[in-house]
Structure 1
Amino acid sequence: MVFLVHLQVQLAEGSLKGTISSEKNAIREASYSVSGILSSSNLSSTSRYENLQELLDGDKQYTVYKFNISSCTYIDGSGGIREVDLDDIEAAKADPLSPYSTSLIDGINRSEARRRALIFFCITYLKRNAKDAYVLSIDRKGFDVLGKVLGPVMNDGSRQYQWKEFRFMFKEEAQDIEKFCQQLVNMEEEALKSVSSFSGL
């Protein structure tokens, strides 16, 4: 029994080391578009591989749990409770960008130039006058932005800025960090050209 537990610990450590190595290599070998975004991020506190490395190097004791789902339900829009097919859950895969999402979001939001590009996205793609913007989340299909945009006209004829969430979709799914950053940079260039031509710059 002790041998079996020790073997399971070694397997867990090996899996963690493999994950750390894979993610470090992906960042180390990243193109200019990726490194340009990540360079603005506080990688030591946002990268998943750094956190996993601390887990391996630390002297604290941890308990590893295996989560087996026996049933799962959700509440739909009308308040009805529905059963989820467990085969669908087992077939679902994690988003390929999830290991890097925190670093990418932090890198974009810390960069003044990229925050300005988010404002241009709201103007170009949504025709919304934005004053500020932040990325909320990213995935292989696109990203969510919290934009400070002009609200509706008030009774006195004035308009106030308010925070609103927007979704931007990619033309093609980004199956890795390279494709995500490449499509983001392409959108930035498109939006900048559009805003420049509109303003006559």
Structure 2
Amino acid sequence: MKGSKSASAVLTIAEKCKSILASNWEGKLTTIKADAKGSKGDVHSSKVKYIVKKGKPYVWVPENDPHNVNTVIDERGSLAVTSPFPGPLARILKSMKRSPSRIALTGDVVPLNEEKVQLALESLEEAVISEHKAISGSTYAVSGLISSASLKSTSHIENLKGLLDGSQSYSIYKFDIRSCTFVDGHGNAKEIDLENIQASKTDPLARYAAMLIDGVNQSESRRRALVLFCMAYLNTRPRDAYMLSIDRNGFDILGIVPNPSPHSTNNSEQFLWKEFRLPFPESACDMEKFCHLLVNMEEEAIKKVSSYSGIGV
């Protein structure tokens, strides 16, 4: 598989942070509890929905949530956001004792005035419409892939449209970021310079990553293609494989392979999950390009595997 160095590269940590923020629509907001005497040491946390506008999160807090009182006294807060891992990935990662990559933001939770509230609502509506157009206007390759995904757990539309129906009252806040910490799947944390994050571009696949990944993982035929990729490009033959993450430069696969040093005859220890990286030969600038590249890679992989002596597809 031929490709340029730029297409083979992995995202920088700053780019990963920005893409995690763009890929999700829900985070855990934490503010300092307040009473008549002012702020105290205790905190209140709850899940909130959000959108990203010009690199900043705008959060929707239900009217009866204590955050609305807490931020009147003390605007300081934190927002934790994880990479969405829908479908079977959550179970597999749990068995590996791994967590999704995530970011922890600290900053100020700033209430919006009436004019900016209206702008935030318009931005939310635009985001919902934009995703709907991208999906409804997609080719058969994209729609076929997305049809395998669970939209309730992967779609921004399905998770954000309730903010527009007027069934519940919300206060809307801008989250002004003061610091960002990246935490990988093994729990290793690294604080990231905000200037690097601001200078980084959001990956074009980030918003649709959960749908695309789940679409692959929920389909046996597409998982077989992942096994084929491992055979053709990585000279390994996993029993099964799942897509772990995607970006414009390539994708990561989780494959279950023989354990080179099992500690017992227990069948569960004869195999282990191993992560593999496959680069794209060129940048995947949108969902259409992503699917096109996958199809081309599969055709190439079939030819390579078929040419191996004694190996059939």
TM-score (norm 1): 0.84
Q: Which residue does the alignment assign to 1:135?
A: 243
Q: 1:153 to 1:171 in 2, by over 3 A?
A: same
Moved over 6 A (4+): none
Tell which deviates more after alignment, 188-197 or 132-141: 188-197
Q: 1:194 to 1:28 in 2, by over 3 A?
A: same
Q: 1:160 to 1:51 in 2, by over 3 A?
A: same
Q: Which residue does the alignment assign to 1:123?
A: 231
Three-state SS of the structure 1 residue aligned to 2:168 is coil
Deviation of 1:142 after TM superposition, in Å, equals 1.1
- 2:152 and 2:260 map into 1 onto residues whose CA distance is 42
Which of residues 171, 174, 185 in structure 2 aligns to 1:66?
Answer: 174
Q: 1:109 to 1:5 in 2, by over 3 A?
A: same
Q: Which residue does the alignment assign to 1:196?
A: 306
Deviation of 1:174 after TM superposition, in Å, equals 0.8
Deviation of 1:37 after TM superposition, in Å, equals 0.7
Q: Note the 1:50-199 alignment, pairs <5 A.
A: 50-57=158-165, 59-71=167-179, 84-152=192-260, 160-198=270-308, 199=311
Deviation of 1:155 after TM superposition, in Å, equals 9.0
- 1:72 and 1:112 map into 2 onto residues whose CA distance is 38
CA contact (8 A) 1:41 1:104 kept: yes
- Identical aligned pairs, as a percentage? 54
Whose helix fraction is larger, Structure 1's or Structure 2's? Answer: 1
TM-score (norm 2): 0.55
> Which structure has more RCO (C-alpha within 8 Å, separation ≥ 6)?
2
Whose strand fraction is larger, Structure 1's or Structure 2's? Answer: 2
Q: 1:59 to 1:108 in 2, by over 3 A?
A: same
Q: 1:66 to 1:140 in 2, by over 3 A?
A: same
Tell which deviates more after alignment, 9-18 or 89-98: 89-98
Q: Which residue does the alignment assign to 1:78?
A: none
- 2:182 and 2:273 map into 1 onto residues whose CA distance is 29
Deviation of 1:71 after TM superposition, in Å, equals 4.7
> How big is the alpha-carbon RMSD for the aligned residues of Structure 1 and Structure 2?
2.8
Three-state SS of the structure 1 residue aligned to 2:177 is coil
Query: Which structure 1 segments of 5+ residues have no match?
Result: 76-80
Which of residues 15, 28, 45 in structure 1 aligns to 2:136?
Answer: 28
CA deviation profile, 1:13-57 (whole Å, cap 9, x unmatched) = 100111111111111111122112112112243211221212222
- 1:70 and 1:39 map into 2 onto residues whose CA distance is 39
Q: 1:50 to 1:82 in 2, by over 3 A?
A: closer
CA contact (8 A) 1:142 1:167 kept: yes
Deviation of 1:185 after TM superposition, in Å, equals 1.4
- 2:160 and 2:179 map into 1 onto residues whose CA distance is 30
